[in-house]
Copies of this chain bind each other. A is one copy, B any other.
Amino acid sequence: MKQTAKRTIYDIAKAAGSSPSTVSSVMNGTWKGRRIKEDTAKRILGLADELGYSVNQQARGLRTAQSGLIGLILPEHNNRFFSDLSQSFTLEARKRGQCPVIIATQRDPESETRTVRDLMAYSIDALFVVGAAEPSEISRLCRSSGLPHVFIDQPCPGAPSVITDNEDGARRLTRAIIETIKPDQQGDAKVYFLGGDARLHASSRRIVGFRTEIERHYGTCGPDQIIACGYDPDIALMRIRELYDRLGGLPAGLFANSINVFEALLRFLVDVPETEFQHVSVGCFDYEPYGEFLRFPVHMIRQRHRQLVRKAFEFLDQPPADNALLMVAAELRLA
């Protein structure tokens, strides 16, 4: 245990008076299949521990064309959802005896492909992809090298994907918003959908869910109620201000389609008298723990990161059809 020089199976073999291949098979657990006596195995394990030996993964990986490394690429670390995923991913990978490698690529396509290539150079055993800028390019790369991969939170045509059931989540969130609207609400009693990009899969499903619930309750959902203004908080803030001016006050309900939009709303509300904003019913399709400490109720959708990751791993163990798309229900956190 005190040596600085790295131990190898040859050192252990010499110390145990046996051959390197015996040590090897003891260390990798195949010794029963290779008819090594249990006594021998125990003795070798003891020596290995005593001498502070640990397998050289590079050599093993070179030989077996595997590495025990498993990759996850995501846009950034500094985001609650992504760090939730990182957490679940780490736990699951370690539970399987693999080594998680998580890399943030800043939503930059070039960085994405470079990262995928780099990871492949390490012979990673599989790759999970979250929120990639160019999913199909990544899928192509993986496919061309035979690298098993699964997309999370973002469906990629032709590749197994695990995503949140956005439509169902949006319906439940919308319902919660409607139910929280106080009956004494005067003026414009409508609910507005704010933020997101209607061309993207997630947003479009959410809009469908929102519209369905609104129509069920109010009979109709005007086009003005859906303001898919993107993810930029500054633009969202402008839209909120416009809405406020147009309505002469806050609307009855607001569906914030991302954490950024929610932040914009908070920034706007800082200057609004408390008596006013305490009457707006707010829902956010994203989770932020600080939402619970606000002076008005906020319903939030939290993605089931644990489930998403688990299902993604299951896709590795039981490879599904290439176009398999699995949906996981979101968690609705009522205020």
Measured between beta carbons, the chain B residues less than 8 angstroms from A269 are 293
A269 to B104, CA, bound (A): 36
- A97 to chain B: closest residue by CB: B118
- A292 to chain B: closest residue by CB: B267
- A84 to chain B: closest residue by CB: B78
CB neighbors of B among A34-49 (8 A): none
Q: Point out the residue from B121, B266, B295 that lies within 8 Å of A56, measured CB to CB.
A: B121
Interface check A14, CB cutoff 8 A: no
Per-residue 0/1 for A142-162: is the Cβ within 8 Å of any B Cβ (1 yes, 0 no)? 001110000000000000000
Q: Point out the residue from B52, B59, B62 that lies within 8 Å of A144, measured CB to CB.
A: B52
Q: A54-B117, A67-B58, A123-B56 are in contact. Are A6 and B290 (CB under 8 A)?
A: no
Interface check A318, CB cutoff 8 A: no
Interface check A57, CB cutoff 8 A: yes
Measured between beta carbons, the chain B residues less than 8 angstroms from A100 are 101, 103
Measured between beta carbons, the chain B residues less than 8 angstroms from A59 are 58, 62
The number of residues on chain A lying at the interface, defined by a beta carbon within 8 Å of a beta carbon of chain B, is: 59
Interface check A18, CB cutoff 8 A: no
CB neighbors of B among A49-82 (8 A): 52, 54-59, 61-62, 65, 67, 69, 76-80
Measured between beta carbons, the chain B residues less than 8 angstroms from A146 are 4
Copy number in the complex reads 2
B78 close to A87 (CB less than 8 A):
yes
Interface check A90, CB cutoff 8 A: yes
A301 to B263, CA, bound (A): 21
Interface check A86, CB cutoff 8 A: yes
Interface check A21, CB cutoff 8 A: no
Q: Which has the most chain B C-beta neighbours within 10 Å: A55, A87, A117, A295?
A: A295
Measured between beta carbons, the chain B residues less than 8 angstroms from A266 are 290, 293
A267 close to B293 (CB less than 8 A):
yes
A56 to B57, CA, bound (A): 13
Interface check A274, CB cutoff 8 A: yes
Q: Point out the residue from B99, B111, B145, B267 that lies within 8 Å of A122, measured CB to CB.
A: B99
Q: A57-B122, A101-B99, A144-B4 are in contact. Are A87 and B80 (CB under 8 A)?
A: no
Q: A58-B62, A293-B267 are in contact. Are A145 and B102 (CB under 8 A)?
A: no
A-B pairs with lowest CB-CB distance, top 9: A266-B293, A290-B290, A77-B86, A58-B61, A77-B83, A58-B62, A78-B83, A77-B87, A57-B121
